[in-house]
Amino acid sequence: MHLPPHAIRPDYAGGSVLNLAATLGAHHGVPTHHAPYRHPLPLNGARHVVLIVVDALGAGQLRAAVTRGDAPTLAALTPAPGPVTSVFPSTTMAALTTIHTARAPAEHGYLGLTVWLDEAQAVVNLIRLYDVYTHTPLEDAGFLAAVPSLYRQLHDRGVAAHVVMPAAYQHSVLTRWACDGAEYHPYAQSEETPELTAATLQPGQPSYTLVYFPEYDLICHGSGPDSPEAHAELRRTDRIVADLLAALPRTGDTLIVLTADHGQSPQPPEGYVDAITKKVMKTALRGPVAGEERAAYLRPYAEHAAEIEALLAPHATLLTADDAWTGGLFGPPAHAEARFRPRVGDLIAVPHPGHAIRRPTSPAPMPGLHGGWTAEEMLVPVLSVRL
């Protein structure tokens, strides 16, 4: 599998959020077949692990924030001594599910915001659970829960598992599966997370707590990752993390780790590509385009494959889904689940930097995107401190 020079491959051999999640779980006794996280973490003797996930906080974005003076709390934490990657595609649906399960996208099956589901014979939005073209609801989504959550495995081993997440997410189908086994601590405002997190650390039982901040991602999408609004939200997040650290007991047996599911890259409006029109979709493709605007999955009719490639080649790197799957883009091939292979179509188009593939089912253009394999999207921070 040949990738362009600017592409960052997910480092499932030890340097990705998959390996981080697997190692944190293994510390509390959850077995894993994945390589251990290669960078040192002060885990020895830690009874409590708190994993903070700031959605869309790329490593480059954090460096810029530290340079601006916007993140003094995060700057004081110990960084990983080498690069850490997201998964592919670099999107919340794939990466956060990996963090919740300690499994690669090719194992848990959440391979993008929208995917082709053989079970539904449709391209389905995995958050809203409907056919992206007809908006017909997916009647039975139980088959999507393909692997046990990390929290269920921790709970079954006597470890108290907790998630501190927005109240709005508590009852979704994805949350009920991905957070199964964890006690859910809902919040309305991020400023509530320090008190909620501190309450999860009890002296009598080992624990694992995930704290999730989605707001930065939402603002980066809406205003752009380099916008004043995004900078202000990161300053807010830094203050909240400072309050969270101050709220935790100083017992010496708690490890705090902060990371992100992916980064974000600015998306200029002129970089949107309108090659996949309704006419093209209806005549040349076996259904709507799936995936992400920065990582598109297509199912062209054989007789139209050359036409689709000609439309997209000026704007994107094209590779067959078979090559991507066997080449380990979605996870180590030895552990990939074959029944999920059709979910990524037959042809994958990863737009060049600054480009995005718009399709008839796309939302309004956004000034910040992710999903592709640029450094901005793929490289994430891992910071730690022992309390």
The position carrying tokens 């490890």 is 255
Rg of the Cα atoms in the chain: 20
Share of the chain above pLDDT 90, in %: 95
Q: Is the pLDDT of residue 252 over 80?
A: yes
The pLDDT score that the predictor gives to residue 360 is: 80
Task: Please report the pLDDT score of residue 57 as a whole number.
Answer: 99
Q: Quickly state the pLDDT bin for 278 (edges 50, 70, 90).
A: confident
Q: Determine the pLDDT at residue 239.
A: 99
Computed over every residue of the chain, the mean pLDDT equals 97
pLDDT at 364: 84
Of 38-52, 143-157, 268-282, 363-377, the least confident: 268-282
Domains for the chain: give ranges and CATH numbers: 17-109+146-265+373-386 (3.40.720.10), 269-365 (3.30.1360)
Mean pLDDT for 199-216 is 97
- 199 pLDDT band (50/70/90 cuts)? very high
pLDDT at 139 over 90: no
Q: Check residue 284 and give left, alpha or beta (phi > 0: left; psi -120 to 50: alpha).
A: alpha
Separation between Cα atoms, residue 319 and residue 2, nearest integer Å: 8
Closest C-alpha to 330, from 109, 161, 44, 123: 109
Which whole number is the average pLDDT over 364-374? 96
Please give, one letter per residue, the 3-state secondary structure of the chain: CCCCCCCCCCCCCCCEHHHHHHHHHHHCCCCCCCCCCCCCCCCCCCCEEEEEEECCCCHHHHHHHHHHCCCHHHHCCEECCCCCECCCCECHHHHHHHHHHCCCHHHHCCCCCEEEECCCCEEEECCCCEECCCCCECCCCHHHCCCCCHHHHHHCCCCEEEEEEEHHHCCCHHHHHHCCCCEEEEECCHHHHHHHHHHCCCCCCCEEEEEEECHHHHHHHHHCCCCHHHHHHHHHHHHHHHHHHHHCCCCCCEEEEEECCCCCEECCHHHEECCCCHHHHHHHECCCCEEECCEEEECECHHHHHHHHHHHCCCEEEEEHHHHHHCCCCCCHHHCCHHHHHHHCCEEEEECCCCEECCCCCCCCCCEECECCCHHHHECCEEEEEC
CB 89 within 8 A of CB 126: no
Query: Average of pLDDT values for 49-60?
Result: 99
Percent of the chain with pLDDT over 70: 100
C-beta separation of 241 from 233 below 8 A? no
d(CA 13, CA 267): 30
> CB–CB of 369/218 below 8 Å?
no
The CB density around residue 17, as the number of other CB atoms within 10 Å, is: 27
pLDDT at site 5: 96
Checking if the pLDDT of 361 tops 80, the result is: no
pTM above 0.85, yes or no: yes
Q: What is the pLDDT of residue 47?
A: 98
Q: Pick the range with the lowest mean pLDDT from 139-148, 221-230, 323-332.
A: 139-148
Confidence class for position 104, pLDDT limits 50, 70, 90: very high
| pLDDT at site 109 | 99
Structure tokens at 318: 């094209």
CA 57 to chain centre: 11
Residue 363, pLDDT above cutoff 80: no
Amino acid in position 42: P
pLDDT at 23 over 80: yes
Report whether pLDDT(98) > 80: yes
